[in-house]
């Protein structure tokens, strides 16, 4: 399909999304407001009795959804529409040279009281997000208030790295996490380093920990993966089974198209440029673009090689996985069935949606239950 036609479609999609979302929506994380109407049809949470494992977790406060936000779709959409971003002052962008000489960007938030040897946290955004995503900024704000130095990473082709990268990031770019950790070691010698990965980056983080279990740097202290799609085959297949899932699938596919058109990531020679119609599913997008541009034999080969599920049992770093039973985007069943080592804790709440976890008042200083648990898990 010609580039100008893709641009025209993307432009129309942006206009529709702007009409259906609040002005405070997080860049790259918004979901069409029409998805709210689907909360009564799909993504309904399972009852607590159906949770096989992972909840309750000793020492973890119960997650009770805010009134009126008990459905997974509502949790997901409202967290996106109202990201609760704060203004972080003094952020220093640092260009990261990757193993293949490509580029990513780390955004350095260093509190004034931080000293050499103090704690450092690396944050990795989800699909089509950036260092400005609401959960990234909120968590960085909480951590820096505690004297923790935070680095928010823009993956290849995302955020500040949008026009720098020659190839896109994907679910298995574990070498990019390794490069970021190595940079943090140089900038912060002697500091313990914790890492939090959200959604697709949660899978990347778990694969990084499992694939490199015997060679990880000693500085790695804690890891947290939030709503990770550890089985990409099952994740994409599940979204196709519900109306709500198809809407998320369609929207994120359009976001990915928007992210590559008229950037250094576009390739005229790839199947996507020659397609007769725009892909409507991420599976199609990965088949026409991600797999061929990153050297995988096929989309199924890409999903097989980059899913973290087969390596979860090898993880040696103290790790917490946060997921919800009513996540409308990522299927939690592979985590329920997985054989996890003692140092990996699964926290599987009955409710919470995808990167939602907006709770009732009274449990934490605000309703962002997820943020406070991550703060605890990364530093404990």
How many CB atoms neighbour CB 64 within 10 A?
A: 16
Of the residues 199, 201, 308, 324, which is catalytic?
199
354 given a catalytic annotation: yes
Q: How distant is the alpha carbon of residue 176 from its chain centre?
A: 15
- Tokens (6 digits) for 177: 């996490």
CA distance 134 to 86: 8
Alpha-carbon dihedral angle through residues 3, 162, 177, 179, given to the nearest 10 degrees: 110
Give the active site residue among 107, 119, 125, 354: 354
CA 222-319-160 angle, 5° bins: 65
Does residue 300 carry a catalytic annotation?
A: no
Do 35 and 77 form a contact (C-beta atoms < 8 A)? yes
Report how far residue 157's alpha carbon sits from residue 13's, in angstroms, rounded to the nearest whole number: 20
DSSP H or E stretch at residue 308 = none
Known catalytic residue at 102? no
What three-state secondary structure class fits 121?
A: strand
Q: Are residues 135 and 199 in contact, defined by beta-carbon separation less than 8 angstroms?
A: no
Choice among 102, 286, 287, 327 that is catalytic: 327
Q: Is 251 helix (H, G, I), strand (E, B) or coil?
A: helix
CA 251 to chain centre: 16
Cis previous bond, 353, omega within 30: no
Tokens 């995808």: give the residue. 354
Q: What is residue 325's three-state secondary structure? A: coil
What secondary structure does DSSP assign to 327-365, as a single string?
A: -SSS--HHHHH----TTEEEEEESS-TTTT-BB-TTSSS
3-state secondary structure string across 142-167:
HHHHCCCEEEEEECCCCHHHCCCCCC
The residues that are catalytic are 199, 327, 354
């Amino acid at each position: 399909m010609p580039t100008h036609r893709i641009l025209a479609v993307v432009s129309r999609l942006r206009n529709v999304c702007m009409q259906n979302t609040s002005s405070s929506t997080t860049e790259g994380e918004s979901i069409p407001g029409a998805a709210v109407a689907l909360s009564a049809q799909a993504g309904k949470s399972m009852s607590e009795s159906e949770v096989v494992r992972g909840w309750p977790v000793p020492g973890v406060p119960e997650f009770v959804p805010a009134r009126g936000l008990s459905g997974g779709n509502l949790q997901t959409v409202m967290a996106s529409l109202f990201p609760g971003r704060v203004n972080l002052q003094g952020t220093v962008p640092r260009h990261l040279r990757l193993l293949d000489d490509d580029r990513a960007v780390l955004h350095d938030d260093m509190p004034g009281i931080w000293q050499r040897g103090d704690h450092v946290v690396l944050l990795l955004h989800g699909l089509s997000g950036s260092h400005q995503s609401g959960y990234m900024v909120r968590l960085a704000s909480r951590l820096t208030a505690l004297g923790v130095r935070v680095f928010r990473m823009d993956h290849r082709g995302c955020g500040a790295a949008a026009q720098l990268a020659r190839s896109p990031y994907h679910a298995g770019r574990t070498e990019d996490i390794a490069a970021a950790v190595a940079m943090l070691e140089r900038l912060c010698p002697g500091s313990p380093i914790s890492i939090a990965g959200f959604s697709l980056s949660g899978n990347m983080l778990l694969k990084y920990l499992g694939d490199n279990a015997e060679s990880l740097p000693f500085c790695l202290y804690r890891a947290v993966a939030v709503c990770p799609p550890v089985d990409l085959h099952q994740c994409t297949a599940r979204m196709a089974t519900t109306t709500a899932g198809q809407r998320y699938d369609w929207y994120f596919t359009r976001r990915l198209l928007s992210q590559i058109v008229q950037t250094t990531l576009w390739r005229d020679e790839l199947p996507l440029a020659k397609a007769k119609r725009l892909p409507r599913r991420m599976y199609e997008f990965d088949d026409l673009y991600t797999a061929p541009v990153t050297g995988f034999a096929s989309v199924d080969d890409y999903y097989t090689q980059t899913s973290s599920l087969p390596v979860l049992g090898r993880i040696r770093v103290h790790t917490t996985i946060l997921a919800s039973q009513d996540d409308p985007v990522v299927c939690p069943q592979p985590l329920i069935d997985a054989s996890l080592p003692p140092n990996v804790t699964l926290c599987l709440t009955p409710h919470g949606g995808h990167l939602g976890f907006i709770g009732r008042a009274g449990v934490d200083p605000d309703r962002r239950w997820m943020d406070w648990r991550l703060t605890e898990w990364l530093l404990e």
